[in-house]
Amino acid sequence: MPEKITRVSLTLSEELLDDLDSSIKARGYASRSEAIRDSLRDFLANYKWRRELKGHLIGVLILVYEHDVRGLADAIVDIQHSGGKMISSVQHVHLDAKNCLETAVLRGPADKIRKLVERIEGLRGVKQVKLMIIKR
């Protein structure tokens, strides 16, 4: 029995849509829908992986964000400070006039690391968040 398909709409910046279309063409996707479905599967698999992490972890959090979004930098710093000893170090890099990259070395219980990451990735103006686990 075929799977039921539901139509949804997305709001994207022109730049993001152009990047998506270029990627679709380069990778040979038949449609935007196929590419977005694959991206959503990857997003959900990463979420599930993070939910299954257990024990004491060492990892690196990598994030890219728009530094000119009002209050965002302060919110990120507040979340980092709330992590206490869980954050060993933070490196901040100015990518261009609008975007910053930060890396943070994390050590601590999986559930606390997960909560910290989810708080940051939910902020408006955060473009990318990646958690890389070094040791389990």
> In a structure prediction context, what are the per-residue pLDDT tens digits for the chain, which is 136 residues long?
678 889 989 899 999 999 999 999 999 999 999 999 999 999 899 889 989 899 999 999 999 999 999 999 999 999 999 988 999 999 999 999 999 999 999 999 999 999 999 999 999 999 999 999 987 6
Domain for residue 6, yes or no?
no
Residues 59 and 114 in one domain: yes
Domain for residue 37, yes or no?
yes
How many structural domains is the chain composed of? 2
Q: Give me the pLDDT at residue 5, please.
A: 85
Residues 76 and 114 in one domain: yes
Calculate the CA 68 to chain-centre distance.
Answer: 18
Residues 27 and 81 in one domain: no
For residue 12, give the DSSP letter: -
The structure tokens listed for 5 are 């398909």
Domain for residue 84, yes or no?
yes
| Domain coverage including residue 24 | 14-50
Domain for residue 72, yes or no?
yes
Report how far residue 60's alpha carbon sits from residue 71's, in angstroms, rounded to the nearest whole number: 24
Q: Give me the pLDDT at residue 2, please.
A: 78
Residues 37 and 89 in one domain: no
